[in-house]
Structure 1
């Protein structure tokens, strides 16, 4: 039943904000979702009756009222998706089938999956692959002028998360600002370990929340 519920909420948001892109609609549903149940307790994973993780609940339970006014959104263009296909090692012929037009990946450009301006973060930690991972995101103010401060919640044994800049100030609606997140991971974690975190931007009235999942993999 999640699909029809979310589809209905997407239609509601599109009616309220017809100028928003599909990516903006997805962003507002994700970043305003609740990470606890209506009772204020953690969302329970029905498979094991334990507190769920983002692997089970994703960004959380959708919350339609906050979604109407999210403050900030993570937007995407068609070009962003094409670059993502390049990062996924799609060939020009494969991309043409999807895009329905010619598009060639620039051999001089370095494409990364983490460059996609998605409202969540996934970090795959490879043994021997280094201890620092950087992801850059851009947010658009749909709430007008305001100053947002970041807060991060994470397991300090597994990772340290820092954000630069830690404060984003917007002077007008639709202004875009970028920030970079650095994940400094513990390389000694066992392969198969997962750790979860949150990155939240708030101006005092809006909370723009992104889930984070880190997975340690063997080579």
Structure 2
């Protein structure tokens, strides 16, 4: 059997198990094979098994079936958070069923090759467990932050990550903060922590009332009454500036983040800003100084847009970044998403 990708799946190959001899081909090869088969009365083909080839380039790429953003319900929070290995993963397999999972498959094997979120999630879960083991005092939010701010944004050809389904450069709506790099996440320098009170404030900001929130917290809750909090100010490792559609001139929004130093006690970080076309991003202060007495520092990110010059493109957003450098090995990067998308 020849299993050919459709156009939406591009050239990425997924190693599915089959009951009969089979091979998988990309969309372009599939089109050529179908053209050949339809134009010859007796088409002939052979399959040569040449073993495993390592070092394929480019890698990683964003799988065509990978979950994409934006976050339709709460667009102030970028999704996905990050990506991790999830295609053609060789892993342990139960002997209770055959490699296809079909009742008619009598084969037994200790290993299988699987693809999907069900393989990417265990990689991130395992990374989180290792981070918790190395840093038992870190909260779940700190662990997530460490993974998100230390990701890779280039492939093994040192080029921008590619979206497999389009063959074009991917965006944060495809990969979030980037591709997981556990070695760097072990020593992120700074983390963006989130407390229970921060989450309560966030729930208040997106319209949940105290009674509803108490179902989660099991304790009395009060939402601010004088000034509604902004959901963008949840201390997340990514930043999203959501503007309502407007034909007016320049629009501006300020978002606050608080960084906690988990690296060397005495440290100075400086900001580097990448602003997309039609957008101006500023950071105040542009320098964060940490010491034994000061482990947390807040800063404000002001995003100013001119809708007349901002080209949103197919994604409905433009993308930049705020990165903190300490002059050594720590590079703490947060993607910045600027969009006019309204919540569903």
Higher Rg: 2
Secondary structure at the counterpart of residue 5 of structure 1: helix
Distance 1:40 1:32 in 2: 16
Does structure 2 conserve the Cα–Cα contact (< 8 Å) formed by 1:194 and 1:216? yes
Q: Does 1:79 align with 2:79?
A: no
Kept after mapping to 2: 8 A contact 1:142/1:174: no
Shift of 1:218: 7.6
Are residues 1:216 and 2:340 paired?
Answer: yes
Could you tell me which runs of 5 or more consecutive residues in structure 1 were left unpaired when the two chains were aligned: none
Can you give the 5+ residue segments of structure 2 that lack an aligned partner in the other structure? 1-118
The alignment covers a number of residue pairs equal to: 218
Match of 2:318 among 195, 211, 215: 195
1:174 and 1:168 map into 2 onto residues whose CA distance is 10
- Change in Cα spacing, 1:191 to 1:55, as seen in structure 2 (3 Å) is closer
Alignment of 1:84-99 (within 5 A): 84-99=202-217
Cα deviation for residue 173 of structure 1 reads 7.8
Report how far residue 145 of structure 1 moved.
1.2
- CA displacement 1:175-194 (0-9 Å, x = unmatched): 00010011111122467741
TM-score (norm 1): 0.93
Q: CA RMSD in A?
A: 1.9
Give 1:107 deviation, angstroms: 1.1
Is the CA contact (8 Å cut-off) linking 1:140 and 1:174 kept in structure 2? no
In the alignment, which residue of structure 1 is the partner of 2:275? 154
Higher relative contact order, chain-length normalized (CA < 8 Å, sep 6+) = 1
Any conservation in 2 of the 1:150–1:163 contact (CA below 8 Å)? yes
How many Å separate the matches in 2 of 1:38 and 1:80? 38
Range with bigger deviation, 142-151 or 186-195: 186-195
Identify the residue that residue 188 of structure 2 maps to in structure 1: 70
Q: Distance in 2 between matches of 1:176 and 1:54?
A: 27
Change beyond 3 A, Cα 1:167–1:190? closer
Contact 2:278–2:311 at 8 Å: present in 1 too? no
Tell me the TM-score normalised to structure 2 length.
0.60
* Cα distance in 2 for residues equivalent to 1:148 and 1:4: 33
